[in-house]
A and B are shown apart, each in its own frame.
Chain A
Amino acid sequence: MGQIKDYWWKVLGVALVFYAIVAGLLTDVPKLPILNETIRNLYYHVTMWFAMMILMTGSVVYSVKYLMGFNIDFDRKARITAGIGILFGLVGITTGSVWAQFTWGAFWVNDPKLNGAAITLLIYLAYIILRNSLDEEQKRARLAAVYNIFAYVLLVVFLMILPRMTDSLHPGNGGNPAFSSYDLDNDMRKVFYPAIIGWTLIGVWMGQIRYRFENIEKKLHADD
C-alpha cells in the first residue's frame, strides 16, 4: 500500500458512488408524471453525462498544457482522459436510449437534445480516429490537441447551449417535468452531486491505471 495522501481520492470516489447507488434507490423522490420512478435516473444516467463533461474539461486542459510546452506526457493524458469521457458518454447515450424505449416507445427519436448528444460523441470518436491515423508522435499530438480544443467548444455548444435554445422532449426541456429548480428538490441534490463527484473520481482512477501501464510499457520498449 502507498501513502494515504496518494489514494484518499480513490476511496472517496468509491464511497460516494456506493452512497449514490444505495441512497439513489432508497430515498424518497418527487412524484412526477411521465418520469414516475425513472426520476431516479438522475442519479445514474444524468450523472454519466456530467462526469463525461468534467473529464472532457480535464482532457482539454491537458491539451492546452501540451501546446504550451510540447511535453508528450500531457498529450497521452489528454487522450486517456478523453477516452474515459467517451466511455461515460456511450453509457449515457445507451441508458438514455433504454429509458426512451420505455417512455416514448422508441429507442431513438429525432430530438435536438438527443441528436446533440450523438453529434458530441461522434466528434470525440473522430478525435480518436484522427489520432490513430497519424504516425508521427509530435505531429499527431499537436493536431490532436488543437482538434480537442475545437471538440470541447462543440461539446459546450451541443450539450449545453443548443438544447436550451430549442424545444425538446427530453426531461427538463420544453416544460417537461424533470430536474429544474422546481422539480429537483434539495434531497435529490444530496445524492446527485456526490454521484457526479464519485463517478468523475472513478473515471480519473481508471485513466490513471491506464496511464501507469502505458508508462511501464514505454520503459520496457526503451530498454530494447
Chain B
Amino acid sequence: MATYLAHADLGGDQPRMTLSEKLWQVNWLLILLICGISSIGFAMLYSAANGSFDPWASRQMIRFGVGCVIMLAVALVDIRVWLRLAYPMYFLSLALLVAVEVMGEVGMGAQRWIDLRIIQLQPSELMKVAMVMALARYFHGPTLEEVGRIPRLFIPLALVVVPVALVLKQPDLGTAMMLMMIGGALFFLAGVKLWKFAVVIVLGLTAVPVAWQFLHDYQRQRILTFLNPERDPLGAGYHILQSKIALGSGGLFGKGFLEGTQAHLNFLPERQTDFIFTMLAEEFGLVGSTVLIGLYVLVFAYGIIIGLRSRNHFGRLLSLGLTVNLFLYVFINMAMVMGLIPVVGVPLPLISYGGTAMLTVLFGFGLIISVFVHRDIKISRRAFETEL
C-alpha cells in the first residue's frame, strides 16, 4: 500500500512524504482521545454484562483493535487516493443498500442487514461516510460562484436523495433524516445560499401532506408512533421512561460502577447498544456523563480544526462533514435517551456495542487523520472533473 501511495502523484508538484514522515504527522493525541472514549465503552460493556468481559466487552475490544489498524491504514493513504475512490465507494454503498432491499434479512423489524457471515453489514452506516466522501468530492470542483448556480446542485442533490429514499423504504426514518442532515451540512459548508435551504424546506413541508396520502395505514401508524412514543406506552414510551429514571436516579456522582439498578435489573432496554449512555450516566452521574461529553467535544474540535487547516477543499469538506456525521450520532443518541427526541436506532459512536458502527466510525476517523497528515497537499479543482 505504501508503494502505491508513494507513486500516487495526483496533485502535480506536491512534496512526497515517506511512511515515517506520515507516521510523525499522525495526530496521536486524537487517537489517544479515541482510545479513551473507547475504553469508557469497554468499561460500560463490561458493566452491561454484569461485570463480565463476555459477551460484549471482549468482542468490542477485538473489533476496536481491528478498527484501529484500519484507521491507521486509512490515515496513511494519500488524500488524493480517497478523492479518487470517493465515487466508487459511494456507488458500492448504494449497491449494498439496494441489495438489502432485495435480499436483506429482516432485523429489528426493518431490513437493514447484509449477512456476510463474519460480520453483519449495515449499508446505511457505510452510506453515511460514503455520502460525505462523494459530496466532498463533488464540491471540491466548483468555485463558490459555480456553486451559486442551481443546475450545479442537481447532481449532489441526487447523491443525497437516492440513498435517503432507499433508507426510507427499509423503513428507517432515523437514518434517513440523519443522511439528509449530513447532506444539508455539506451543502451548507460548500457555500449554498441559505435561501435555497429555505425553499427546499418549504417545498418539503408542503409535500408532506401529499406523501401522506400515498402511505399505507401501517406506515402512518409507524410514523405517528415514531413522532409520539406515548402512543405506545409499553414499547418506546416505556423504554424512554425507564431511561429517564435511570438517568435521573444517577444524580451528581452516580450509583457507582456495576451498581446501576436500572441497568442491571433489566429495566433499561438495549443497555449495551442504544441506551449505553444511560447506563454510564446512572453509574457515574452527571460528573461521568459530562466528562464523556467533554471528550466528544474535544474530538469534534479536532475534526473542525483539522478541516480548517487542510489546504485542499476536499480535505476540508471531508473532515468537517465527517465531524458533523459524528456529532449527529452523539447528539441524536444522547437526546434520544434523555427523552428530547423520539427513539431512533442510533448508536453512540465508539461506545455502543456493534461491529459496523465501530468500523465505519474508525474508518471515518482514519479519513480525518488522513486529511490531517496530508493537509499541505494542494489538489487542483479540475483534477478529476472529467471522471464524473
A and B are interacting partners: no
Task: Give residues in B with beta carbon < 8 Å to A.
Answer: none
